């Protein structure tokens, strides 16, 4: 069974990764982990604060998990810099593939490091990049 990591940030764009999972993988062949990283709480100081942040973040992951009926799905909230936290989670949990969406940027922002670029550059597993679909 393959372990698939799907980082989500709560945007419609990031949820396109969930759709791709359904298109590419049979529920019987994969375990899915939906991960969101809270960069605004890099080092929560109290357990109470951490628990509250996780509680306020989980509904977004649970909503995405509802789109994966029939799949084995785990939800996880991480803390820290998104790119590094995703890579650390993937390495520590034996992920075979990371499926991450990318934002379409123009101008100078194309040259600024993004989470997806960081993942592609440093991941020790397969990375699938989901391009942002244009709205009609």
- CA 4 to chain CA centroid, Å, is 10
Contact 7, 32 (CB under 8 A): no
pLDDT at position 110 over 50: no
Please check whether residue 89 is in contact with residue 95, taking contact to mean a CB–CB distance below 8 angstroms.
yes
Question: What are the residue boundaries of the structural domains of the chain, listed by start?
Answer: 2-130
Distances (CA, A) of 133 to 5, 17, 102: 21, 11, 10
Quote the pTM value.
Answer: 0.87
Domain spanning 2-130: which CATH class is it, in words? Answer: alpha beta
pLDDT tens profile 71-80: 999 999 998 8
Task: State the number of CA atoms in the 13 A half-sphere of 50 facing the CB.
Answer: 11
> 132 versus 107: which is more confidently predicted?
132
């Amino acid at each position: 069974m393959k372990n698939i990591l799907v980082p989500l940030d709560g945007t419609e764009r990031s949820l396109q990764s969930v759709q791709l999972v359904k298109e590419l993988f049979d529920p019987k062949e994969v375990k899915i982990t939906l991960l969101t990283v809270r960069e605004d709480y890099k080092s929560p100081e109290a357990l109470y604060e951490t628990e509250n942040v996780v509680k306020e973040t989980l509904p977004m992951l649970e909503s995405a998990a509802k789109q994966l009926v029939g799949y084995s799905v785990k939800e996880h909230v991480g803390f820290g810099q998104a790119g590094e936290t995703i890579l650390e989670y993937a390495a520590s949990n034996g992920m075979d593939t990371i499926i991450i969406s990318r934002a379409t940027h123009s101008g100078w922002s194309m040259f600024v490091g993004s989470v997806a670029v960081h993942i592609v550059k440093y991941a020790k597993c397969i990375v699938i990049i989901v391009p942002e679909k244009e709205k009609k």
